[in-house]
A and B are shown apart, each in its own frame.
Chain A
Amino acid sequence: DTEVTQTPKHLVMGMTNKKSLKCEQHMGHRAMYWYKQKAKKPPELMFVYSYEKLSINESVPSRFSPECPNSSLLNLHLHALQPEDSALYLCASSQDLRFSSTDTQYFGPGTRLTVL
């Protein structure tokens, strides 16, 4: 099974709401990623977890808060977002960040977020 699942598929939230995006993989991968993708643009890395510890934070605003409760799950907690945060949020996983040059990242279908 090479599937990365993401819930929800779509999310509409107001600027004062708190919501969470969820990502799950059962491939035994120890690296998990959050990307943000605006329309007609390439994905941009936000966070990387390696062995359940935050390894890379691409200077993402604190209104985005990642969490990796175990090796299969990755959450992105959202609070006080702005309309410009509306985008497709993609989760990915790979076997081990240490072998990134030859490793494959598996992406989920994404959560389309709209902030009103």
Chain B
Amino acid sequence: DAKTTQPNSMESNEEEPVHLPCNHSTISGTDYIHWYRQLPSQGPEYVIHGLTSNVNNRMASLAIAEDRKSSTLILHRATLRDAAVYYCILISNFGNEKLTFGTGTRLTIIP
């Protein structure tokens, strides 16, 4: 499985944008990039996913580098409720693939 590398922790001020990086230099052409987050005392929740193009949804934006070796999850205006561990995960397009969680980035929001 292709691996991802994320910073262990990040801090951001409330109501400011947050850019969470993920490196995946061994990504293959069939790997999708998924982001999940886990709020304290909850199960993980899906945030966003993409293949090549940048993606937006109501929760976040995903910016994918042109060579696909890195991506950035963007929270446009962080709130205290965004404090969580954010996981960047690669999933092959072959089907019947599992989610393999890395160590993730623990995001702290400063009021």
Contact = CB atoms under 8 A, between A and B. Distances in A.
Interface stretch (B15-23, B63-71, B74-82, B92-100): B92-100
Interface residues on A, range: 20 to 34
Contacts, number: 61
Given A42-B103, A90-B43, A102 B96 contact: no
Contacts of A55: 96
Name the prevailing secondary structure of the A interface residues.
mixed
A26 to B, nearest CB: 17
Contacts of B103: 42
Contacts of A105: 36, 44, 46, 99
21 contacts: A42-B102, A43-B38, A43-B44, A55-B96, A97-B95, A97-B96, A98-B95, A100-B96, A100-B97, A100-B98, A101-B30, A101-B91, A104-B46, A104-B49, A105-B44, A105-B46, A105-B99, A107-B43, A109-B42, A110-B42, A110-B43
